[in-house]
Amino acid sequence: MEDTVLETEADDFRSAQVCVRNELGLHARPAARLAQEAQKFASEILLESGDQSVDAKSILDLLTLAAPQGCALTLRARGTDAGKAVDTLLNLFLNRFGEEK
């Protein structure tokens, strides 16, 4: 999965398909960065892989996904700042969380 797909379902709900581009997958460093950024928003934010859905504000929950490089995930947010939350977190995935590989 190379591209991301941003979907808007309602003003207070936003989702996006994202791809883990980091060579080591969604390991501790990017998971911590994702959780830290997600905590800045009031919206409920979930990250989904298949039938597993976790709280994106929890590093431990994110690590349970064990998402390898190339893994397709769905990012979902519901709340007053859902659009801003998804846009911000989507950029983290697109920029490999600041990692080169």
pLDDT score, position 6 = 56
Tokens of 71: 């893994």
pLDDT score, position 2 = 47
The verdict on whether 47 is a catalytic residue reads no
Give the pLDDT of the chain (101 residues) as one tens digit per residue.
445 555 556 668 999 999 999 999 999 999 999 999 999 999 999 999 999 999 999 999 999 999 999 999 999 999 999 999 999 999 999 999 999 88
Active-site hit among 27, 31, 57, 93? 27
For 98: left if phi > 0, alpha if psi spans -120 to 50, otherwise beta; the answer is left
pLDDT score, position 56 = 98
Burial class (CB in 10 A: 0-12, 13-18, 19+), 69: middle
User: For residue 71, which amino acid is it?
Assistant: C
